[in-house]
Amino acid sequence: MSDTVIQSTSSSNALCTSQRPESKWQSFKDSFKPVVVDMSDVDPNLTEYERAAIRTSRSPLSKKLRGRHLQMIAIGGSIGTGLFVGSGGALRTGGPASLLIGWGIIGTMMYSTIQGLGELAVAFPISGGFNAYATRFLEPSIGFAVAWNYFMQFAVLLPLELVAASITIKFWNTTVNPDVWVLIFFLMVVAINLFGVKGYGESEFVFSIIKVIAVVGFIILGIVLIGGGGPQGQYVGDKYWHDPGAFANGFKGVCSVFVTAAFSFGGTEMIGLTAAETKEPHKTLPTAIKQVFWRITLFYIVSLIIISFLVPYNDTSLIGASSVDAVASPFVIAIKNGGVKGLPSVINVVILISVLSVGNTSVYATSRTMVALAEQNQAPKICGYVDRAGRPLVAIMITNVFGMIAFCAASEKQVEVFNWLLALSGLSSIFTWASINASHIRFRAALYHQNRGVDELSFVSQTGVWGSWYGLVMNALVLVAQFWIALFPIGSSPNASDFFMSYLGLPVILASWIGHKIWKKNFKVLLRSDEINIDAGRRDIDMDLLKQEIAEEKEVLASKPLYVKIYKWWC
């Protein structure tokens, strides 16, 4: 009997132990264990790329991004050194008219591109986003080349932004070794990303709010200064449009601005990467996609109009303006020229925050791209390691290794090193946007060929398939403009160094594309419309129910007042 009691007691203790909640430390340790995606129910007769499409749709990445995160990422996510600093170099080489023409045309191209991306992202909220769409709707070698080039772009951008942050600090302090600041900012970015996608979302939410407030404040101040309401009381008006003039280097100056404007919009497509980590993408993504229009109009075009009135293109402070020199920011120069004291430091704080924001985004972009590549068998499987907290740990660690290049900040060769690193992927954004446009066009072609329609889509691009054709053509024209500027640079004679510094990205992506074709022995140029699987991996696979929900939403909207319809269209 005693044995029975002992056994019963032992069982009871075991039960109590099994029911005892895990300690916080144990729970923390367990969060780093990998998540295995179950693919046992997938039809083995599917092609390799159809199975890859399903794997990307089942990615174990954490789905903790909320509507407010997406909206702020959409509005202020890519506002960074391209606008705050790079616009100074564009003003110097192109003049105020070129500045507005360049950003205006690239802005309309970006709006059309993001509309097409939104349609794809809502229908296919998969890891890797637009990089995976190129594989799925164009052909695998294009997807491979575009994705690795995109990875390289942001992997290089991380150390560049860390160095830019250390240079921005020189506005206040020039005695501390730049590597000290690089270390501080590097640890900050690493810590944010170890909190997972929620850490990224919350930090970008705060960063974006600060950037938006700063730009709106600058616009208000700029209007006052133009009207003569500044400390100096001098009416500025449009005098700089007449002296020194509207154009700095004629048509070539306009073409040079196209390239800088395209760089400043880099990261706008990031909203497509967030789809896989959004809880209800069909509800939150459309609003975020529409708000890109307001970012382009208000935060880029309006602020640059203010700059064009306050800073002449021959201002000596713009000489030597580069993507890492915050002192040459036209925003800072405009405030200084207006006689306002103290605010230049505030703008530099905003530039510093923008730099850190881009560095933070770089880790997010590269890690998610690498996971998608691993899920598509285009990168080592270990790169697709995602833990129970939804963090792609291995991909984050690899990205952070690239970040250590930033410790060359104290070296005399830092500018030369980064110029060549950037040259490797300098055209990456153009290729990425072109692939998004082409993917959307091919998706619509597959729908038409398979007798399907847009009535089964939760979100339809407001610019339609013609918007994607416009975006594709504009991206091609930017490549042509960049080729011309690379071959015949402004202010110097043709030389091999300047050409490859500007156009090295093209042979790199061609080598990636050809290399993948040889590796996979796949020499197909483009998938046929009937080869494109438009159902594999879709979350909304019950088409009848989906069409009914869409019809009900349209019916409800039709009953609303006109102002509500207008608001819903734009917001």
Task: Name the average pLDDT for the chain.
Answer: 81
Pair 307, 331: CB distance under 8 Å: yes
For 132-182, list the strands marked E by DSSP.
Answer: none
Please say if the pLDDT value at position 6 is more than 80.
no
Give the total residue count for the chain: 571
Question: What are the helix and strand counts (H, E) for the chain?
Answer: 26, 0
Q: Would you give the DSSP letter of residue 380?
A: -
Question: Both tokens of residue 50?
Answer: 């159809």
How many Cα neighbours within 13 Å face the side chain of 534? 24
Question: Both tokens of residue 500?
Answer: 């490859």
Question: Both tokens of residue 565?
Answer: 């319809």
Pair 360, 207: CB distance under 8 Å: yes
Please say if the pLDDT value at position 410 is more than 50.
yes
Question: Residues 6 or more apart from 304 whose CB is under 8 A from it?
Answer: 83, 87, 99, 100, 103
Pair 239, 308: CB distance under 8 Å: no
Adjacent-strand bridge partners of 65: 278
Q: Which pLDDT belongs to residue 87?
A: 85
Could you read off the pLDDT of 55-72 as tens digits, one per residue?
Answer: 787 777 777 778 777 777
Pair 83, 264: CB distance under 8 Å: yes
User: How distant is the alpha carbon of residue 58 from its chain centre?
Assistant: 22
DSSP per residue over 182-208, as a string? HHHHHHHHHHHHHTHHHHHHHHHHHHH
Pair 334, 221: CB distance under 8 Å: no
Q: One-letter amino acid identity for 462?
A: Q
The mean pLDDT of 128-133, rounded to a whole number, is 80
Distance CA 272, CA 73 (A): 11
Using alpha carbons, list the distances in angstroms from residue 18 to 21, 435, 507: 8, 52, 59
Distance CA 549, CA 24 (A): 42
pLDDT band at 282 (very low <50, low <70, confident <90, very high): confident
The more confidently predicted of residues 213 and 299 is 213
Provide the b/e sequence for 382-394 (b: ≥16 CB within 10 Å).
Answer: ebbbbbebbbbbb
Question: Both tokens of residue 421?
Answer: 């690193």
Distance CA 198, CA 277 (A): 9
Pair 482, 502: CB distance under 8 Å: yes
Please say if the pLDDT value at position 497 is more than 90.
no
The mean pLDDT of 71-92, rounded to a whole number, is 78
pLDDT band at 408 (very low <50, low <70, confident <90, very high): confident
Pair 147, 137: CB distance under 8 Å: no
Please say if the pLDDT value at position 11 is more than 50.
no
Dihedral sign, Cα of residue 165, residue 167, residue 168, residue 172: positive
Question: Both tokens of residue 347?
Answer: 């703008």
Could you read off the pLDDT of 206-260 as tens digits, one per residue?
Answer: 888 888 888 889 999 999 999 888 777 778 888 889 888 888 888 888 888 887 8
Distance CA 65, CA 271 (A): 11
Please say if the pLDDT value at position 267 is more than 60.
yes
Q: How many Å is the Cα radius of gyration of the chain? A: 25
Pair 431, 266: CB distance under 8 Å: no
Pair 75, 235: CB distance under 8 Å: no
Is the peptide bond between 21 and the residue preceding it cis, with omega within 30 degrees of 0?
Answer: no
Using alpha carbons, list the distances in angstroms from residue 314 to 320, 327, 347, 426, 467: 12, 16, 22, 27, 37
Q: Which pLDDT belongs to residue 440?
A: 95
Q: Going from the N-terminus, what domains does the chain have, and what CATH number goes with each?
A: 61-540 (1.20.1740.10)
How deeply is 541 buried, as exposed, middle or buried, from its count of CB atoms within 10 A (0-12, 13-18, 19+)? exposed
